Amino acid sequence: MRAADDADFSNFVAASSRQLLRTAYLIADDLTVAEGLLQAVLDRACQRWPSVRRKNGAQAYVHRLLVRAAVEAGRQHGPHGAPPAADRLPDVPDPGLGGLHRRAALLSCVRQLPADQRAVLVLRYFDGLTEPAAAQALGCSVRTVRSRHARAMARLNELVPGRTDGANADSRTGGEHEREARR
Amino acid sequence: MSAKLDDELRAAFEVASEFIKPPGGLADKACRARRPWWHRQRDAIAACAVVLATAGAAYALSGHYSSKPVPEPPGPRVVVKTRYPVSEAAVSGQYVYLASSQRSLVAAYNRATGKMVRRVRVHGSPTWLAVGPGRLVWVGIVGDRSPNMILLLSPDLGRRATAGSPGSGPLVPTSRQTALTAAPYGVLNVRMPAPGQSGLASVRQESDSQLGAGLTTAPGNWVGLLDGRVAVQVTNGYGYGSHLVIAGEPGVTFGGDPQQQVGAVAKAGDSLWAQTFAITNSRVALWGPLVRLDGQLRATTPVFIQRNPVLARSENVWSAGSAVWVSTGAPGHALVCFAARSGAGPVITVLAGGRVAAVAATSGTAYVTTVTGVSRGRSVVTSYPIPAACR
């Protein structure tokens, strides 16, 4: 690489490596694995940097490679931990910890999801991607992203202990109203 | 789908990955493979020079370890995953120290990055791990087919001093190079050479420090200072009749009856906290009530502890500062904490499930080690902010 490319690549890595590593970690659920994947993806990007840079899509290119590698690693790794049962959650919530226990329980449930469903959630809620952008990153159709997203959210509603989902409550009420109306 | 779950996911992802920082030199490592060999060689020489100069300057200026404060993460996070079962843990400065009695090793990890700094193999089972003055690491080792040992290590475990010990594993560091340990015939004062320096350790028995009736007494799993005296957990030599004594004061004891054996012990403030258990019909209970003891080893357990059904099933106890941490056999309350100074609680559940092997804490963060995996052969160290009510 020329010196200009070298500097450009270093700037790119400095600017985007933290966000990329966080994404890979959340999908692969293992920091050591995520660091290895990021290094491997950056190796590949560096080899093709002049052309990657010319296309003006370096971020998307590296992100795409990393997300797919992380999903693959997450698949091999399998789901982690066990979902926390409602009776295993603390009876005495610590007011000073705020939503800490709740977030920990939610993350524990996210770890139970298959890697491709977890990846959709991470791309949508952590990276803030739209459905088409998430589909492009994952290399699948928008329809697939939608169905994985729906399945992941439905599974989370089942797994998260003590969850009183507003949407579910409303739909049940709606259903009951419908049945009553039919009667 | 509800907007509430969306928001919760955003917050959870944000907090769970907030601590992550990419390792240094990512770009350099990535591009190194592409460069011609003479460029790589030139870079390597330059990098070595820079590293040596930086390390030399840091070593000279910092007194051998970094005193830079380590930023604490805001929520629970996995700090270290090990492929061995951890039995003891300690935390000091930038390091989390782990010992495995099964694998005969002691390791130091950077608590910000989780990277292992150094691992030391030992002969025997490291049953006691403590950080003393000067952030030096003391390890009490019970020999398998070899004598008991004491190991004194530099904070990064890079330098060491070793001595054979006539005492049992537990010890109390009293200065940079001295510690107290217990032997069947009394309390010993051990003076070690500084880590990395040659020299022999010396052992001196403290006067008037008998632990009980001669050969029928053996020091157990805990030694500590209480009101300037040495408190020792002792057994009858076969592991039964476990009770606490004050060295040199044969009349001051606690426990030892079949209904009140002393398991784990921790010191917080001017009190001891003892996890007790009963032996009935030769069956040993796995858990029992937690008891607070004063300087005369009298039970002064607050009512909120006595009446707490979770603490009636205590399995192990640790302390750090004024926080007391108790692992329990109560379903849904694997680890709880409370403030030792409090007379009325509350008792906070920190961990609902899992098997807690060790707890070590700084002023704001607790490092909880749980054992996992097949045959409990692995461990995970997770950091938790210490609840305000437990400080």
Name the DSSP letter for residue B377.
-
Please, which pLDDT band fits residue B350 given cuts at 50, 70 and 90? confident
Own/partner long-range contacts of B106-112 (Cβ < 8 Å, ≥24 apart): B106/B137, B106/B139, B106/B151, B106/B153, B106/B157, B107/B82, B107/B157, B108/B137, B108/B155, B108/B156, B108/B157, B109/B79, B109/B80, B109/B381, B111/B70, B111/B79, B111/B367, B111/B383, B112/B70, B112/B71
Q: Is the peptide bond between A132 and the residue preceding it cis, with omega within 30 degrees of 0?
A: no
**Residue A35 with chain B: CB contacts under 8 Å:** 22-23
CA B336 to chain A, closest CA, distance in angstroms equals 9
B contacts of A113 (beta carbons < 8 Å): none
| CATH 1.10.10.10 placement within chain A | 81-164
> Which pLDDT does position B231 carry in this prediction?
93
Distance from CA of B360 to the nearest CA of A (A): 19
Residue-level pLDDT at B34: 54
Distance of CA B294 to the CA centre of its chain: 23
CB atoms within 10 A of CB B62: 11
pLDDT tens digits, A39-94: 888 888 888 888 887 766 788 889 999 999 888 888 776 554 443 333 333 334 44
Task: Check: CB of residue B186 under 8 Å from CB of residue B203.
Answer: no
Residues in chain B, total? 391
pLDDT band at residue B121, thresholds of 50, 70 and 90? very high
pLDDT digits 0-9 by tens, B297-325: 999 999 889 988 999 999 999 998 889 99
Residue for token pair 């108790």:
B326
User: In angstroms, what separates the C-alpha of A175 from chain B's closest C-alpha?
Assistant: 16
Interface probe, candidates A12, A16, A19, A22, chain B, greatest B C-beta count within 10 A = A22
**Percent of chain A clearing pLDDT 90 (strictly above):** 22
Contact A103 B11 (CB under 8 A): yes
State phi, psi for A2 to the nearest 5 degrees: -75, 165
What share of chain B has pLDDT > 90, as a percent? Answer: 34
The whole-angstrom distance between B240's CA and the closest CA on chain A is: 34
Q: How many CB atoms lie within 10 A of CB B208?
A: 10
- Alpha-carbon distance A159 to A171, whole Å? 19
Q: Which residue of B has its CA nearest to A12?
A: B27
Contact yes or no for A88 and B332 at CB 8 A = yes
Are A90 and B29 an interchain contact pair (Cβ–Cβ within 8 Å)?
Answer: no
What tokens appear for A64 in the block? 């795409």
Mean pLDDT of B199-215: 79
Report yes or no: A26 at the B interface, CB cutoff 8 Å.
yes
Task: Using CB atoms, pick whichever of A110, A125, A166 lies closest to residue B2.
Answer: A166
pLDDT at position B62 is 43
pLDDT score, position A175 = 38
Q: Is A35 on the interface with B (CB under 8 A)?
A: yes
Answer yes or no: do A43 and B332 touch at CB < 8 A.
no
Which pTM value belongs to this model? 0.57
B346 and A22: CB-CB below 8 Å? no
| Predicted pLDDT at B282 | 63
Residues 78-117 (A) with a CB less than 8 A from some CB of B: 82, 84, 87-92, 94-97, 99-100, 102-104, 106-107, 110
pLDDT in tens, A7-28: 888 888 888 899 999 999 899 8
Tell me the mean pLDDT in the region B139-153.
87
| Kind of pairing between the strands at B348-351 and B335-339 | antiparallel
Reported as a pLDDT band with limits 50, 70 and 90, residue A108 is confident
The answer to whether A13 faces chain B, any CB pair under 8 Å, is: yes
Residue with tokens 């005969």, as numbered in its chain: B104
Sign of CA dihedral B213, B217, B219, B224: negative
A81-164 placed in CATH 1.10.10.10: yes
**pLDDT of B369-391, one tens digit each?**
998 876 668 899 998 888 888 88
Q: Quick one: how many helices (H) and strands (E) in chain B?
A: 4, 29
Please state which of the ranges A33-42, B64-73, B83-92, B127-136 shows the lowest mean pLDDT.
B64-73
